[in-house]
Protein backbone atom coordinates (compact mmCIF):
# COMPACT_ATOMS: atom_id res chain seq x y z
CA UNK A 1 0.00 0.00 0.00
CA UNK A 2 1.10 3.51 -0.72
CA UNK A 3 -0.75 6.28 1.10
CA UNK A 4 -1.17 10.01 0.92
CA UNK A 5 -2.25 11.72 4.09
CA UNK A 6 -3.76 14.99 2.86
CA UNK A 7 -4.25 17.50 5.64
CA UNK A 8 -5.55 21.04 5.11
CA UNK A 9 -5.67 23.86 7.62
CA UNK A 10 -8.65 26.24 7.60
CA UNK A 11 -8.29 29.48 9.50
CA UNK A 12 -9.18 33.16 9.49
CA UNK A 13 -8.18 35.46 12.33
CA UNK A 14 -10.60 38.00 13.74
CA UNK A 15 -8.63 41.13 12.91
CA UNK A 16 -8.73 44.21 15.09
CA UNK A 17 -9.45 47.42 13.25
CA UNK A 18 -7.34 50.62 13.27
CA UNK A 19 -8.36 51.15 16.84
CA UNK A 20 -7.41 54.65 17.94
CA UNK A 21 -6.31 55.76 21.38
CA UNK A 22 -9.23 58.19 21.16
CA UNK A 23 -11.61 55.21 21.02
CA UNK A 24 -10.24 53.76 24.24
CA UNK A 25 -12.85 53.93 27.01
CA UNK A 26 -15.38 55.32 24.54
CA UNK A 27 -15.98 52.54 22.06
CA UNK A 28 -15.15 48.92 22.65
CA UNK A 29 -15.74 47.81 19.10
CA UNK A 30 -12.37 46.37 18.16
CA UNK A 31 -13.28 43.88 15.52
CA UNK A 32 -15.85 45.45 13.21
CA UNK A 33 -14.28 47.64 10.58
CA UNK A 34 -16.42 49.26 7.88
CA UNK A 35 -17.23 46.76 5.17
CA UNK A 36 -14.75 48.34 2.77
CA UNK A 37 -12.14 48.97 5.43
CA UNK A 38 -8.75 47.36 5.31
CA UNK A 39 -9.45 45.15 8.34
CA UNK A 40 -13.03 44.24 7.48
CA UNK A 41 -13.30 40.62 8.59
CA UNK A 42 -16.58 40.21 6.78
CA UNK A 43 -15.26 41.44 3.45
CA UNK A 44 -12.09 39.37 3.67
CA UNK A 45 -13.95 36.25 4.76
CA UNK A 46 -16.47 36.53 1.95
CA UNK A 47 -13.72 37.15 -0.57
CA UNK A 48 -11.73 34.09 0.48
CA UNK A 49 -14.94 32.05 0.68
CA UNK A 50 -15.63 32.86 -2.97
CA UNK A 51 -12.11 32.35 -4.18
CA UNK A 52 -11.09 29.36 -2.11
CA UNK A 53 -13.39 27.76 0.49
CA UNK A 54 -16.39 27.24 -1.77
CA UNK A 55 -14.68 25.97 -4.95
CA UNK A 56 -12.24 23.76 -3.03
CA UNK A 57 -14.90 22.24 -0.77
CA UNK A 58 -16.98 21.56 -3.88
CA UNK A 59 -14.00 19.89 -5.49
CA UNK A 60 -13.34 17.76 -2.42
CA UNK A 61 -16.98 16.76 -2.02
CA UNK A 62 -17.33 15.89 -5.68
CA UNK A 63 -14.30 13.61 -5.51
CA UNK A 64 -15.51 12.03 -2.28
CA UNK A 65 -18.77 11.16 -3.98
CA UNK A 66 -16.86 9.73 -6.90
CA UNK A 67 -14.22 7.90 -4.86
CA UNK A 68 -15.28 6.48 -1.50
CA UNK A 69 -11.58 6.01 -0.78
CA UNK A 70 -10.77 9.72 -1.05
CA UNK A 71 -10.27 11.20 2.40
CA UNK A 72 -9.02 14.48 3.79
CA UNK A 73 -8.17 15.72 7.28
CA UNK A 74 -9.07 19.28 8.20
CA UNK A 75 -8.16 21.47 11.12
CA UNK A 76 -10.69 24.24 11.53
CA UNK A 77 -10.12 27.04 14.01
CA UNK A 78 -12.82 28.41 16.26
CA UNK A 79 -12.24 31.90 14.88
CA UNK A 80 -12.99 30.56 11.40
CA UNK A 81 -16.15 28.80 12.59
CA UNK A 82 -17.35 31.94 14.39
CA UNK A 83 -17.07 33.90 11.17
CA UNK A 84 -18.44 31.18 8.89
CA UNK A 85 -21.53 30.93 11.09
CA UNK A 86 -22.20 34.59 10.38
CA UNK A 87 -21.22 34.93 6.75
CA UNK A 88 -21.16 31.50 5.08
CA UNK A 89 -22.98 28.89 7.16
CA UNK A 90 -23.42 26.69 4.09
CA UNK A 91 -19.68 25.96 4.21
CA UNK A 92 -20.05 24.43 7.67
CA UNK A 93 -23.01 22.35 6.49
CA UNK A 94 -20.96 21.09 3.58
CA UNK A 95 -18.06 20.03 5.82
CA UNK A 96 -20.55 18.38 8.17
CA UNK A 97 -21.85 16.22 5.30
CA UNK A 98 -18.34 15.05 4.51
CA UNK A 99 -17.61 14.35 8.18
CA UNK A 100 -20.81 12.24 8.32
CA UNK A 101 -19.55 10.23 5.35
CA UNK A 102 -16.37 9.63 7.40
CA UNK A 103 -14.32 11.02 4.58
CA UNK A 104 -13.26 14.09 6.53
CA UNK A 105 -11.53 13.89 9.88
CA UNK A 106 -11.30 16.96 12.10
CA UNK A 107 -7.96 17.69 13.78
CA UNK A 108 -7.78 19.28 17.22
CA UNK A 109 -6.06 22.60 18.03
CA UNK A 110 -6.61 25.81 20.00
CA UNK A 111 -9.92 27.56 19.43
CA UNK A 112 -8.24 30.91 18.87
CA UNK A 113 -5.22 29.76 16.83
CA UNK A 114 -3.01 31.03 19.60
CA UNK A 115 0.50 30.50 20.90
CA UNK A 116 -0.86 30.03 24.42
CA UNK A 117 1.19 26.85 24.86
CA UNK A 118 4.28 29.04 25.17
CA UNK A 119 2.71 31.55 27.56
CA UNK A 120 0.17 29.95 29.81
CA UNK A 121 -0.62 26.25 30.00
CA UNK A 122 -3.98 26.79 31.71
CA UNK A 123 -5.03 29.09 28.94
CA UNK A 124 -3.80 26.60 26.36
CA UNK A 125 -5.84 23.82 27.95
CA UNK A 126 -8.89 26.05 28.14
CA UNK A 127 -8.65 26.96 24.46
CA UNK A 128 -8.12 23.36 23.36
CA UNK A 129 -11.12 22.26 25.41
CA UNK A 130 -13.22 25.07 23.99
CA UNK A 131 -12.27 23.89 20.52
CA UNK A 132 -13.17 20.27 21.35
CA UNK A 133 -16.60 21.37 22.58
CA UNK A 134 -17.16 23.46 19.48
CA UNK A 135 -16.19 20.61 17.13
CA UNK A 136 -18.48 18.22 19.01
CA UNK A 137 -21.32 20.69 18.82
CA UNK A 138 -20.88 21.53 15.13
CA UNK A 139 -19.70 18.22 13.66
CA UNK A 140 -20.57 15.63 16.31
CA UNK A 141 -17.04 14.23 16.49
CA UNK A 142 -14.08 14.47 18.87
CA UNK A 143 -10.60 15.18 17.50
CA UNK A 144 -8.18 12.26 17.92
CA UNK A 145 -5.12 13.94 16.50
CA UNK A 146 -3.67 17.28 17.53
CA UNK A 147 -1.82 20.08 15.74
CA UNK A 148 -0.55 23.19 17.44
CA UNK A 149 -0.77 26.68 15.95
CA UNK A 150 1.77 27.17 13.13
CA UNK A 151 2.91 23.57 13.76
CA UNK A 152 4.88 24.90 16.74
CA UNK A 153 6.03 21.62 18.22
CA UNK A 154 8.47 20.38 20.86
CA UNK A 155 8.88 17.38 23.15
CA UNK A 156 6.89 19.01 25.95
CA UNK A 157 3.92 19.45 23.65
CA UNK A 158 4.12 15.77 22.68
CA UNK A 159 4.08 14.77 26.35
CA UNK A 160 1.07 16.99 26.91
CA UNK A 161 -0.75 15.34 23.98
CA UNK A 162 0.09 11.87 25.27
CA UNK A 163 -1.33 12.75 28.69
CA UNK A 164 -4.48 14.09 27.09
CA UNK A 165 -4.94 10.78 25.30
CA UNK A 166 -4.44 11.92 21.71
CA UNK A 167 -3.61 9.29 19.17
CA UNK A 168 -1.28 11.40 17.12
CA UNK A 169 0.27 14.79 16.64
CA UNK A 170 1.42 16.69 13.56
CA UNK A 171 4.75 18.46 13.05
CA UNK A 172 7.18 19.70 10.43
CA UNK A 173 9.46 17.09 8.81
CA UNK A 174 12.48 19.31 9.14
CA UNK A 175 15.80 17.97 7.80
CA UNK A 176 17.79 19.27 10.75
CA UNK A 177 15.75 17.00 13.01
CA UNK A 178 15.31 14.04 10.70
CA UNK A 179 18.88 13.84 9.46
CA UNK A 180 19.05 10.83 7.12
CA UNK A 181 15.58 9.67 8.14
CA UNK A 182 12.58 10.13 5.90
CA UNK A 183 9.29 11.84 6.82
CA UNK A 184 7.50 9.00 5.02
CA UNK A 185 7.07 6.90 8.18
CA UNK A 186 5.11 7.14 11.38
CA UNK A 187 7.31 8.05 14.34
CA UNK A 188 7.03 8.06 18.11
CA UNK A 189 7.82 11.30 19.96
CA UNK A 190 10.59 11.04 22.55
CA UNK A 191 9.29 10.03 25.95
CA UNK A 192 5.90 8.88 24.65
CA UNK A 193 4.39 5.42 24.42
CA UNK A 194 1.12 5.61 22.57
CA UNK A 195 1.34 8.90 20.76
CA UNK A 196 2.29 8.89 17.07
CA UNK A 197 4.11 11.66 15.25
CA UNK A 198 3.24 12.51 11.64
CA UNK A 199 5.79 14.66 9.86
CA UNK A 200 5.07 16.94 6.96
CA UNK A 201 6.80 16.05 3.70
CA UNK A 202 7.62 19.67 3.12
CA UNK A 203 9.23 19.30 -0.32
CA UNK A 204 6.26 17.66 -1.95
CA UNK A 205 3.81 19.80 0.05
CA UNK A 206 5.55 23.04 -0.88
CA UNK A 207 5.72 22.07 -4.55
CA UNK A 208 1.97 22.61 -4.51
CA UNK A 209 1.56 25.17 -1.75
CA UNK A 210 4.37 27.60 -2.67
CA UNK A 211 5.94 26.77 -5.99
CA UNK A 212 3.01 25.69 -8.11
CA UNK A 213 2.56 28.99 -9.96
CA UNK A 214 6.14 30.26 -9.74
CA UNK A 215 7.31 30.78 -13.28
CA UNK A 216 10.93 31.16 -12.22
CA UNK A 217 10.84 27.63 -10.85
CA UNK A 218 12.63 25.34 -13.25
CA UNK A 219 9.92 22.71 -12.88
CA UNK A 220 7.14 25.11 -13.86
CA UNK A 221 4.55 24.20 -15.04
CA UNK A 222 3.83 21.38 -12.64
CA UNK A 223 1.77 18.68 -14.34
CA UNK A 224 0.02 15.72 -12.76
CA UNK A 225 2.24 13.08 -14.46
CA UNK A 226 5.37 14.91 -13.33
CA UNK A 227 4.14 15.26 -9.76
CA UNK A 228 2.96 11.67 -9.64
CA UNK A 229 6.39 10.60 -10.81
CA UNK A 230 7.96 12.53 -7.92
CA UNK A 231 5.58 10.85 -5.50
CA UNK A 232 6.52 7.44 -6.89
CA UNK A 233 10.20 8.24 -6.48
CA UNK A 234 9.66 9.54 -2.95
CA UNK A 235 7.82 6.36 -2.01
CA UNK A 236 11.17 4.59 -2.38
CA UNK A 237 12.00 6.05 1.03
CA UNK A 238 8.72 5.11 2.68
CA UNK A 239 5.19 4.50 1.46
CA UNK A 240 3.54 7.36 3.27
CA UNK A 241 3.41 10.88 1.88
CA UNK A 242 2.18 13.52 4.34
CA UNK A 243 0.92 16.47 2.32
CA UNK A 244 0.14 19.18 4.87
CA UNK A 245 -0.81 22.67 3.75
CA UNK A 246 -3.12 25.64 4.16
CA UNK A 247 -6.57 25.17 2.73
CA UNK A 248 -6.23 28.59 1.12
CA UNK A 249 -3.43 27.26 -1.06
CA UNK A 250 -6.29 26.41 -3.38
CA UNK A 251 -7.74 29.56 -4.87
CA UNK A 252 -6.17 32.19 -2.60
CA UNK A 253 -2.40 31.61 -2.53
CA UNK A 254 -2.54 29.92 -5.92
CA UNK A 255 -5.28 31.61 -7.88
CA UNK A 256 -7.79 29.74 -9.96
CA UNK A 257 -6.15 30.86 -13.20
CA UNK A 258 -2.91 29.08 -12.27
CA UNK A 259 -4.81 25.83 -12.89
CA UNK A 260 -4.52 24.67 -9.27
CA UNK A 261 -8.08 23.31 -9.12
CA UNK A 262 -7.71 21.31 -12.32
CA UNK A 263 -4.39 20.03 -11.12
CA UNK A 264 -5.88 18.81 -7.84
CA UNK A 265 -8.89 17.28 -9.52
CA UNK A 266 -6.75 15.26 -11.90
CA UNK A 267 -4.23 14.43 -9.26
CA UNK A 268 -6.81 12.77 -6.99
CA UNK A 269 -8.14 10.53 -9.72
CA UNK A 270 -4.70 9.83 -11.11
CA UNK A 271 -3.37 8.77 -7.69
CA UNK A 272 -6.36 6.52 -7.04
CA UNK A 273 -6.16 4.94 -10.48
CA UNK A 274 -3.37 2.67 -9.24
CA UNK A 275 -4.78 -0.15 -7.16
CA UNK A 276 -2.21 0.03 -4.34
CA UNK A 277 -2.63 3.80 -3.78
CA UNK A 278 -4.80 5.21 -1.02
CA UNK A 279 -5.75 8.37 0.81
CA UNK A 280 -5.74 8.11 4.60
CA UNK A 281 -6.95 10.44 7.33
CA UNK A 282 -4.55 11.40 10.09
CA UNK A 283 -5.84 8.90 12.64
CA UNK A 284 -5.87 6.09 10.07
CA UNK A 285 -2.27 6.99 9.30
CA UNK A 286 -1.34 6.62 12.98
CA UNK A 287 -2.51 3.00 12.74
CA UNK A 288 -0.63 1.89 9.65
CA UNK A 289 2.13 0.19 11.59
CA UNK A 290 4.65 0.36 14.35
CA UNK A 291 6.64 3.58 14.62
CA UNK A 292 9.88 3.50 12.65
CA UNK A 293 11.87 5.36 15.28
CA UNK A 294 11.74 7.78 18.17
CA UNK A 295 12.09 11.48 17.36
CA UNK A 296 13.07 14.21 19.76
CA UNK A 297 12.64 17.96 19.24
CA UNK A 298 13.74 19.71 22.42
CA UNK A 299 13.66 23.08 20.65
CA UNK A 300 10.45 24.39 19.18
CA UNK A 301 10.09 23.73 15.44
CA UNK A 302 7.42 25.37 13.28
CA UNK A 303 6.43 25.15 9.64
CA UNK A 304 7.43 28.73 8.90
CA UNK A 305 10.27 30.29 6.95
CA UNK A 306 13.67 28.80 6.33
CA UNK A 307 14.46 29.00 10.04
CA UNK A 308 11.43 26.87 11.04
CA UNK A 309 11.21 28.72 14.34
CA UNK A 310 8.88 31.18 16.05
CA UNK A 311 10.88 34.23 15.03
CA UNK A 312 8.18 35.51 12.68
CA UNK A 313 5.84 35.72 15.69
CA UNK A 314 7.98 36.39 18.70
CA UNK A 315 11.28 38.05 17.94
CA UNK A 316 11.13 41.83 18.04
CA UNK A 317 10.35 43.70 21.23
CA UNK A 318 6.93 44.82 19.97
CA UNK A 319 5.87 41.21 19.56
CA UNK A 320 7.21 40.03 22.89
CA UNK A 321 5.86 42.97 24.85
CA UNK A 322 2.45 42.71 23.16
CA UNK A 323 2.20 39.05 24.12
CA UNK A 324 3.54 39.58 27.64
CA UNK A 325 1.09 42.42 28.26
CA UNK A 326 -1.74 40.33 26.86
CA UNK A 327 -1.13 37.21 28.90
CA UNK A 328 -0.43 39.24 32.05
CA UNK A 329 -4.10 40.30 31.99
CA UNK A 330 -5.46 36.77 31.89
CA UNK A 331 -6.30 36.14 35.55
CA UNK A 332 -8.10 39.44 36.02
CA UNK A 333 -9.99 39.00 32.75
CA UNK A 334 -11.20 35.53 33.72
CA UNK A 335 -12.08 36.72 37.22
CA UNK A 336 -14.73 39.05 35.79
CA UNK A 337 -16.65 36.03 34.44
CA UNK A 338 -17.84 38.43 31.73
CA UNK A 339 -18.16 36.20 28.68
CA UNK A 340 -17.99 39.07 26.20
CA UNK A 341 -14.86 40.51 27.76
CA UNK A 342 -13.20 37.09 27.96
CA UNK A 343 -13.99 36.34 24.32
CA UNK A 344 -12.66 39.74 23.18
CA UNK A 345 -9.48 39.11 25.13
CA UNK A 346 -9.12 35.64 23.64
CA UNK A 347 -9.56 36.96 20.10
CA UNK A 348 -6.41 38.99 20.79
CA UNK A 349 -4.40 35.79 21.42
CA UNK A 350 -4.57 34.75 17.76
CA UNK A 351 -1.07 34.27 16.36
CA UNK A 352 -1.80 36.31 13.24
CA UNK A 353 -1.63 39.44 15.38
CA UNK A 354 2.03 39.17 16.46
CA UNK A 355 2.80 37.93 12.94
CA UNK A 356 1.55 41.22 11.54
CA UNK A 357 4.10 42.98 13.78
CA UNK A 358 6.99 41.06 12.24
CA UNK A 359 9.77 43.31 10.93
CA UNK A 360 12.09 40.58 9.65
CA UNK A 361 11.47 41.37 6.00
CA UNK A 362 10.02 44.80 6.44
CA UNK A 363 13.23 46.79 6.05
CA UNK A 364 13.80 45.39 2.61
CA UNK A 365 10.62 47.10 1.59
CA UNK A 366 9.37 43.75 0.44
CA UNK A 367 5.77 44.30 1.42
CA UNK A 368 4.74 41.39 -0.70
CA UNK A 369 6.84 38.93 1.27
CA UNK A 370 3.72 38.43 3.32
CA UNK A 371 0.21 39.69 3.34
CA UNK A 372 -0.79 41.99 6.15
CA UNK A 373 -4.02 43.70 7.01
CA UNK A 374 -2.10 46.67 8.38
CA UNK A 375 -0.12 49.44 6.75
CA UNK A 376 2.98 48.48 8.73
CA UNK A 377 4.06 46.22 11.61
CA UNK A 378 4.33 49.34 13.74
CA UNK A 379 0.73 50.35 13.14
CA UNK A 380 -0.45 46.85 13.89
CA UNK A 381 1.32 47.01 17.24
CA UNK A 382 -0.12 50.46 17.95
CA UNK A 383 -3.71 49.32 17.48
CA UNK A 384 -3.08 46.11 19.41
CA UNK A 385 -1.82 48.07 22.40
CA UNK A 386 -4.81 50.39 22.22
CA UNK A 387 -7.16 47.40 22.37
CA UNK A 388 -5.33 46.17 25.46
CA UNK A 389 -5.78 49.62 27.00
CA UNK A 390 -9.50 49.44 26.47
CA UNK A 391 -9.63 45.91 27.89
CA UNK A 392 -7.79 47.30 30.90
CA UNK A 393 -10.33 50.08 31.15
CA UNK A 394 -13.20 47.57 31.05
CA UNK A 395 -11.46 45.62 33.80
CA UNK A 396 -11.28 48.70 35.99
CA UNK A 397 -15.00 49.30 35.44
CA UNK A 398 -15.84 45.68 36.23
CA UNK A 399 -13.92 45.85 39.49
CA UNK A 400 -16.01 48.74 40.78
Residues that bind another protein (CB under 8 A): 20-22, 316-318, 320-322, 359, 362-365, 375-376, 378-379, 381-382, 385-386
Least Å from the CB of residue 114 to another protein: 20
Of the listed 150, 172, 248, 284, which one is catalytic?
Answer: 150
Nearer to another protein, 134 or 360 (CB): 360
Nearer to another protein, 129 or 392 (CB): 392
Nearer to another protein, 78 or 354 (CB): 354
Spatial separation of the C-alpha atoms in residues 3 and 114, rounded to whole Å: 31
Strand 168-172 versus strand 196-200 pairing type? parallel
Instruction: Find all residues with CB under 8 Å of 271, minimum gap 6, and list them.
Output: 4, 228, 231, 277, 279
Least Å from the CB of residue 366 to another protein: 9
For residues 122 and 346, the answer to whether their CB atoms sit within 8 Å is no
57 DSSP β-pair partners: none
Strand 196-200 versus strand 294-295 pairing type? unpaired
Least Å from the CB of residue 382 to another protein: 4
CA-nearest of 350, 324, 333, 293 to 114 is 350
Cα dihedral 54→56→60→61 (10° resolution)? 10
Least Å from the CB of residue 17 to another protein: 13
**Residue 150 appears among annotated catalytic residues:** yes
Nearer to another protein, 29 or 136 (CB): 29
Least Å from the CB of residue 267 to another protein: 40
Nearer to another protein, 20 or 136 (CB): 20
Q: What angle do CA 234, 236, 242 make, to 5 degrees?
A: 45
For residues 11 and 79, the answer to whether their CB atoms sit within 8 Å is yes
For residues 8 and 104, the answer to whether their CB atoms sit within 8 Å is no
Task: Show the DSSP H helices in the chain as ranges.
Answer: 41-48, 54-66, 78-87, 89-100, 121-139, 155-163, 175-178, 202-209, 224-234, 260-272, 282-286, 317-328, 330-335, 339-347, 352-355, 377-399
Least Å from the CB of residue 27 to another protein: 13
Burial environment of residue 131 by CB neighbours within 10 A (0 to 12, 13 to 18, 19 or more): buried
HEC profile of 193-241 = CCCEEEEECHHHHHHHHCCCCCCCCCCCCCCHHHHHHHHHHHHHHCCEE
CA distances from 198 to 182, 274, 276 (A): 11, 24, 21
Least Å from the CB of residue 22 to another protein: 6
Nearer to another protein, 21 or 121 (CB): 21
Nearer to another protein, 176 or 368 (CB): 368
Question: Catalytic amino acids?
Answer: 150
Amino acid sequence: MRAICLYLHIHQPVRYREYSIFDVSNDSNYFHDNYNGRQSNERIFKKVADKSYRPMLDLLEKNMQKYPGFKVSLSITGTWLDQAEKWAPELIAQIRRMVKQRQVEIVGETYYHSLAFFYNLDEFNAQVEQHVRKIQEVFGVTPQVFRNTEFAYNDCLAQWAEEKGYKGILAEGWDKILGWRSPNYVYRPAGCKNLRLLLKNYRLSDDIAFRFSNRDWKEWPLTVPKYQNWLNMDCLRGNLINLFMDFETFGEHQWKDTGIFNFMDHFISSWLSEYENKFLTVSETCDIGEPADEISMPETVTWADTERDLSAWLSNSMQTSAMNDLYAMRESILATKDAGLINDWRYMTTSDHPYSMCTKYWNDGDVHAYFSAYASPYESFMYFENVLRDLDYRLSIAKK
